[in-house]
């Protein structure tokens, strides 16, 4: 959407090829099917923050085809055009993004001033979006067809950063004086939110003026079903057309032609609270890490639909294994001596409670006393971020926020990170992440990311458990579902039944 300045602009590709491929959300709508049927979609995560784009709900908006930003990610992990058709780097700190002609769902034009205001609003969000962790930027209109973005420090991956679902662009009407964002009828994607029924369901209609062409489905009826068995049953009984995150325990109950398995950049980890409680002691963190048997989790809990944890980045990030370094400076494991710890996780991803139960057994065998808490994610996140738990099992897509491998390290594992559930604040880690952030060359940035990973793993605040493959249930006759390793997209203009 955004008019563009016709200059020779090139995208910056700083993330290597991932396993598998997927289609862009803005794909051609083919033969149109202007009267196509509505899609019925079951999603695992109910809105946690009233569908604000600045937190966990951002991917709900992108997966349903509601919202988009200046850029997107292609199958190779490179920045690709979305609302911006082109871009160029003017100097070390300034980029110019040329905008395509586009319309907001409220009928107003996507203008440079509207885009600049949307990005400015994101910079003022509290807490800041993970994509902006450690980054200060300003945006301003540049004539009638471009936006100029300047960062306080050189940011070689800015085009990738702007692909984050949390930096989606909405019309001026969406933004409240209190910092809120209302995505109903104010976004730019092929589907327009028309109704949100709390945490139970949402209705979307096709946005006929979408710049990428009319969607083949006439709308979407989305249901938020946290229980994985219920999601699977809804697909099997024909109540929904698409069910995300089918539990591995339910996969065999689906016909083979309705199962899609996708290698993703999602890693499930055990995060240990390094700022307070028993795991403030690095020797007890080391003892917990030594107690964990990741192979048992991959084979038994995930029934071989996952790989044992090797690091923060898993097999879907194909360059990582060849560059991985041994963890740096690990403490010698101490004796648990009955130390009492609270272990928490959520049930939106159905394997996680079972993972937590196995970890409970493994930790107790090592001498810990474990209290287990399992809740729905929206009722757990704020406590986790506030450090209320000693240990937390989290399934995290390492490239979902920006597509840049360094960004997740800054947001999740540095002193000022906005998603630092492990409460990690380590000077060596911060220095290693800062070095990686300053590195522009693709191969050298990968090397720096792996050096930072080694520092993080050396603290034992993060224990990688498994690297997941996601199973999506797709009804017979449904076409064009977007099986995305980043888990940012699910339905697009070509999705239909």
Over residues 270-313, the pLDDT tens digits come to 999 999 999 999 999 999 999 999 999 999 999 989 999 999 99
Is pLDDT at 21 greater than 70 in this prediction?
no
More confident residue, 36 or 152: 152
For 325-384, the pLDDT digits (tens) are 999 899 999 999 999 999 999 998 889 999 999 999 999 999 999 999 999 998 999 999
Nearest to 42 by CA among 204, 189, 230, 219: 230
Q: Residue 207: is its pLDDT beyond 80?
A: yes
Residue linked to tokens 């700022």: 275
| Mean pLDDT confidence for 79-100 | 97
Q: What is the mean pLDDT of the chain?
A: 91
Q: Residue 172 and residue 181: Cα distance in Å, rounded?
A: 10
Which residues lie closer than 8 Å to 454 by C-beta, 6 or more apart? 324, 325, 326, 327, 328, 432
Q: Global pTM?
A: 0.79
Cβ atoms of residues 116 and 141 within 8 Å: yes
Which residues touch 279 (CB under 8 Å, ≥6 apart)? 272, 273, 285, 288, 341, 390, 391, 461
Show the CA angle centred on residue 344, arms to residues 309 and 333, nearest 5°. Answer: 55
Q: For residue 383, what is the enclosing H or E element? A: helix 381-385
Query: 1-241+475-497 belongs to which CATH class?
Result: alpha beta
pLDDT number for residue 75? 79
3-state secondary structure of 471: strand
Average pLDDT score over residue span 32-57:
84
Burial 205-238 (b: 16+ CB within 10 A, else e): bbbeebbbbbbbbbbbbbbbbbebeebbbbbbee
Predicted confidence band of residue 263 (pLDDT cuts 50, 70, 90): confident
CA-nearest of 152, 103, 106, 159 to 131 is: 159
Report the share of the chain in percent with pLDDT over 70: 93
Q: What is each CA distance from 481 to 30, 97, 490, in whole angstroms?
A: 14, 30, 6
Three-state DSSP class for 485?
A: coil
Q: What is the pLDDT of residue 36?
A: 65
Q: Which fold has domain 264-469?
A: Dipeptide-binding Protein; domain 3 (3.10.105)
CA 155 from centre of chain: 20
How do the domains of the chain map onto residue ranges?
A: 1-241+475-497, 264-469
Report residue 153 CA to chain centroid gap.
24
Asked whether residue 478 carries a pLDDT value surpassing 50, the answer given is: yes
Residue partners of 407: CB distance under 8 A and separation at least 6? 130, 131, 133, 157, 161, 401
| Residue 14 token pair | 């700083």
Tens-place pLDDT, residues 375-418: 999 899 999 999 999 999 999 989 888 888 998 999 999 999 98
Give me Rg for the CA atoms of the chain.
22
**pLDDT band (50, 70, 90) for residue 27:** very low
Residue 427: the pLDDT is 97
Q: Which span out of 77-81, 247-251, 316-320, 462-466 was modeled with the highest average pLDDT?
A: 462-466
Whole-number pLDDT of residue 134: 79
The span from the CA of 284 to the CA of 282, in Å, is: 5
User: CB neighbours (10 Å) of residue 136?
Assistant: 12
- Is the distance from CB of 142 to CB of 86 less than 8 angstroms? no
Whether the pLDDT of residue 29 is over 50: the answer is: no
Please report the DSSP string for 309-341 in residue order.
--SSS-TTBTTHHHH--PPSSPPPP---TT-EE
pLDDT, position 10: 34
Name residue 262's beta-bridge partners. Answer: 470
CB contact at 8 A, 343 and 360: yes
Question: Percentage of residues in the chain with pLDDT exceeding 90?
Answer: 80
d(C-alpha 289, C-alpha 283), whole Å: 10
Q: Do the Cβ atoms of 235 and 124 come closer than 8 Å? A: no
Task: Compute the distance between CA of residue 279 and CA of residue 290 in angstroms, rounded to an integer.
Answer: 14
């Amino acid at each position: 959407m955004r008019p563009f300045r016709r200059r020779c602009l090139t995208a910056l590709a700083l993330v290597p090829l991932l396993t598998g491929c997927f289609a862009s959300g803005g794909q051609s709508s083919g033969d149109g099917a202007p009267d196509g049927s509505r899609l019925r979609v079951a999603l695992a995560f109910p809105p946690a923050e009233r569908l604000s784009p600045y937190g966990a709900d951002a991917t709900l908006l992108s997966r349903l085809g509601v919202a988009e930003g200046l850029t997107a990610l292609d199958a190779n992990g490179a920045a690709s055009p979305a609302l911006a058709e082109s871009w160029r780097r003017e100097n070390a700190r300034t980029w110019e993004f040329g905008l395509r002609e586009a319309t907001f769902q409220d009928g107003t034009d996507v203008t440079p001033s509207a885009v600049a205001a949307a990005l400015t609003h994101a910079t003022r969000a509290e807490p800041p979006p993970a994509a902006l962790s450690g980054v200060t930027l300003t945006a301003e209109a540049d004539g009638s067809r471009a936006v100029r973005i300047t960062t306080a420090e050189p940011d070689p991956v800015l085009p990738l950063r702007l692909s984050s679902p949390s930096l989606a662009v909405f019309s001026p009407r969406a933004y409240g004086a209190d910092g809120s964002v209302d995505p109903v009828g104010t976004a730019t994607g092929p589907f327009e939110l028309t109704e949100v029924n709390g945490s139970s369901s949402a209705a979307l209609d096709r946005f006929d003026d979408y710049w990428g062409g009319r969607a083949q489905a006439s709308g979407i009826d989305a249901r938020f079903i946290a229980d994985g068995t219920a999601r699977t049953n809804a697909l099997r009984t024909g109540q929904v057309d698409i069910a995300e995150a089918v539990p591995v325990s339910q996969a065999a109950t689906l016909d083979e032609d309705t199962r899609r398995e996708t290698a993703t950049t999602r890693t499930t980890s055990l995060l240990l609270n390094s700022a307070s409680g028993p795991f403030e002691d690095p020797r007890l963190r080391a003892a917990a890490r030594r107690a964990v048997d990741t192979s048992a989790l991959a084979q038994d809990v995930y029934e071989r639909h996952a790989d044992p944890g090797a690091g923060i980045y898993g097999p879907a990030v194909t360059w990582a294994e060849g560059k991985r370094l041994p963890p740096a400076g690990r403490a010698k494991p101490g004796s648990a001596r009955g130390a009492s710890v609270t272990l928490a996780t959520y049930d939106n991803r159905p394997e996680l409670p079972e993972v937590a139960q196995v970890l409970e057994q493994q930790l107790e065998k090592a001498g810990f006393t474990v209290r287990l808490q399992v809740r729905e994610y929206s009722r757990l996140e704020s406590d986790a971020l506030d450090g209320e738990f000693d240990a937390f099992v989290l399934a995290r897509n390492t490239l979902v926020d920006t597509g840049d491998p360094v960004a997740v390290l800054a947001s999740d594992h540095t002193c000022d990170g906005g998603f630092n559930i492990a409460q990690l604040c380590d000077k060596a880690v911060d220095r290693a992440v800062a070095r990686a952030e300053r590195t522009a060359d693709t191969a050298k940035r990968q090397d720096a990311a792996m050096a930072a990973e080694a520092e993080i793993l050396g603290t034992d605040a993060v224990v990688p458990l498994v690297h997941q493959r996601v199973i999506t249930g797709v009804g017979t006759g449904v076409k064009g579902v977007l099986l995305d390793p980043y888990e940012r997209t699910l339905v697009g203009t070509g999705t239909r039944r």
